[in-house]
């Protein structure tokens, strides 16, 4: 069974508007890919989640409820994504367990978040671990992992390849400080490490990147292994 999990960062799906062009192109690309038995696709919350969360935070709504709001946003985006794919679930699973079951019935299983306290990075990694996927593709709004946040520091350098321990250290270091922007959360990296799941962090908007990874195991982003 050759399966892959793709985490589609919310920021590439839900921008000012829904990125329908990308969703269409991404679905067409996956439809043409040969040699795989199934794809798990985990969709983030993006602008939809951020708008609700930041507005409600001003009214002291607690973080658990804000996470629930975020989860619902990811599920709306996930449902929107399903409308572009054939042979896909029509109900969004609320647990990785249910999503794994659905892999028996569909070529694509699309989901969003599961429970408060983590992000869809962790959901994607748990999903990958559960269905024995060797590879997790993390499509983000940046073209790989950098030594520092490239939007804040022009001297930040892209890292082509790194091991799990260095990725975990970088994730911890970059999560310190307000307004931090972490490339992947520590939990998801720890899960990848324990199960040896190879991670490709790429600019999720570049369709060629998915094709290169799926056929050649290479990318212009960052490989964590
Ligand atoms: P995302 O996974 O999209 O968060 O979930 P993110 O990484 O902050 O944002 P982008 O999309 O990569 O820019 C959106 C929000 O939903 C909640 C969290 O509050 C998260 O910030 N969430 C999501 C959960 O609480 N649990 C989940 O399993 C998923």
Distance between CA 117 and CA 211 in Å, rounded? Answer: 32
Distance between CA 193 and CA 187 in Å, rounded? Answer: 10
Pocket test residue of 19, 120, 126 for ligand 1, highest count of atoms within 8 A of CB: 120
3 state SS of 221: coil
Pocket test residue of 45, 76, 96, 117 for ligand 1, highest count of atoms within 8 A of CB: 45
Distance between CA 101 and CA 155 in Å, rounded? Answer: 45
| Per-residue model confidence (pLDDT) at position 179 | 46
Task: Judge whether residue 157 has pLDDT over 50.
Answer: yes
| Per-residue model confidence (pLDDT) at position 177 | 52
What is the arithmetic mean of pLDDT over 179-192? 86
Ligand 1 centroid to residue 44 C-alpha, Å:
6
Lookup result for tokens 């794809």: 39
Pocket test residue of 113, 116, 182, 187 for ligand 1, highest count of atoms within 8 A of CB: 113
Distance between CA 139 and CA 43 in Å, rounded? Answer: 10
> What residue's CA is closest to ligand 1, atom 10?
10
| Per-residue model confidence (pLDDT) at position 145 | 96
Share of the chain above pLDDT 90, in %: 91
Cβ < 6 A, ligand 1 pocket = 9-11, 44-46, 49, 66-67, 70-71, 74, 113-116, 118-120, 123
CATH code that applies to domain 3-224: 3.40.1160.10
Lookup result for tokens 């990296």: 189
- Tokens encoding 31: 């439809």
Q: Up-side HSE of residue 54: CA atoms within 13 Å toward CB?
A: 8
Distance between CA 4 and CA 103 in Å, rounded? Answer: 11
- Residue by residue, DSSP assigns 134-160 as SEEEEEESSSSEESS-TTT-TT--EES
Task: Note the pTM of the prediction, 2 decimals.
Answer: 0.95
Write out pLDDT tens, residues 60-92. Answer: 999 999 999 999 999 999 999 999 999 999 999
Ligand 1 centroid to residue 120 C-alpha, Å:
6
What is the arithmetic mean of pLDDT over 160-177? 90
Write out pLDDT tens, residues 88-132. Answer: 999 999 999 999 999 999 999 999 999 999 999 999 999 999 999
What is the arithmetic mean of pLDDT over 39-51? 96
Ligand 1 centroid to residue 152 C-alpha, Å:
22
> What residue's CA is closest to ligand 1, atom 7?
119
Lookup result for tokens 């920021």: 11
What is the arithmetic mean of pLDDT over 6-32? 96
Task: Judge whether residue 178 has pLDDT over 50.
Answer: no
- Residue by residue, DSSP assigns 19-53 as -HHHHHHHHHHHHH--S-SEEEEEE--HHHHHHHH
């Amino acid at each position: 069974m050759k399966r892959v999990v793709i985490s589609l960062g919310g920021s590439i799906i839900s921008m000012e508007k829904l990125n329908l062009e990308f969703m269409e192109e991404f679905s067409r690309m996956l439809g043409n890919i040969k040699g795989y038995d199934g794809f798990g696709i985990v969709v983030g919350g993006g602008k939809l989640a951020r708008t609700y969360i930041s507005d409600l935070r001003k009214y002291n709504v607690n973080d658990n409820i804000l996470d629930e709001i975020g989860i619902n946003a990811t599920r709306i985006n996930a449902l929107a994504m399903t409308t572009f794919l054939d042979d896909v679930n029509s109900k969004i699973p609320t647990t990785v367990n249910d999503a794994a079951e659905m892999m028996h019935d569909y070529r694509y299983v699309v989901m969003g978040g599961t429970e408060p306290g983590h992000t869809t990075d962790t959901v994607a990694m748990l999903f990958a671990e559960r269905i024995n996927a060797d590879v997790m593709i993390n499509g983000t709004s940046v073209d790989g992992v950098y030594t520092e946040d490239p939007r804040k520091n022009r001297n930040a350098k892209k890292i082509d390849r790194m091991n799990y321990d260095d990725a975990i250290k970088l994730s911890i270091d970059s999560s310190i400080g307000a307004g931090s922007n972490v490339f992947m959360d520590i939990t998801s990296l720890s899960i990848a490490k324990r199960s040896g799941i190879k991670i490709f962090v790429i600019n999720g908007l570049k369709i060629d990147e998915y094709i290169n990874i799926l056929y050649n195991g290479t990318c212009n982003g960052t490989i964590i292994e």
